[in-house]
Amino acid sequence: MTVVDPATGRSRFVIVPAAYVFLLREAPGGATEVLLQLRRGTGFMDEHWAAAAAGHVERGETAEAAARREAAEELDVVDLDLRFATAMQRTAHDLPIDERVDFFFTARSWRGTPRIVEPTKCADLRWYALDALPDPVVPHERSVLEGLRRGDLPALSHFGF
């Protein structure tokens, strides 16, 4: 989506911010697992596995506050020990809104038992080892998960360029 800058008369794109939370845990044997949801009924990447909690940052809200809100709304978990993972500049030139900044967080502790709160948008919720992810995973999220698995996720990442 583009808008015209009234000061210059030039077109510029609008960035859509979103926050993602990957809940992580250590499985018996030491493997790191991530909680993923199976998207359904959302109109975007349905039937793909994705972060268990994610959504747009609302006006006047920080990315961290959005991550906490989404985790409470979508999983019924609170008091997350959020850790910043990466900010991703992302584009998909074939979509009407194609410029995004995604803020990814991890959490290894929280209060509550994760559960499906929005069954019209989430068909399943499962733990997967980072080295044995299901297929398909939303592509830009898979990129972050692979960086977490390898331990080389940069603070600023890019997808779609």
Q: Tell if the pTM clears 0.85, that is, is over it.
A: yes
Closest CA to 17 of 52, 68, 64, 74: 64
Q: CA-CA distances (angstroms) from residue 67 to 118, 132, 152? A: 16, 25, 22
- Ordered by start, the domain boundaries in the chain are 26-159
* Spatial CB neighbours of 13, under 8 Å, sequence gap ≥ 6: 1, 2, 3, 98, 99
pLDDT at 4: 73
Pick the CATH number of 26-159 from 3.30.420.40, 3.90.79.10, 3.40.50.10540, 3.30.70.2190: 3.90.79.10
Residues of the chain with pLDDT under 50: none
Instruction: State the pLDDT at residue 98.
Output: 63
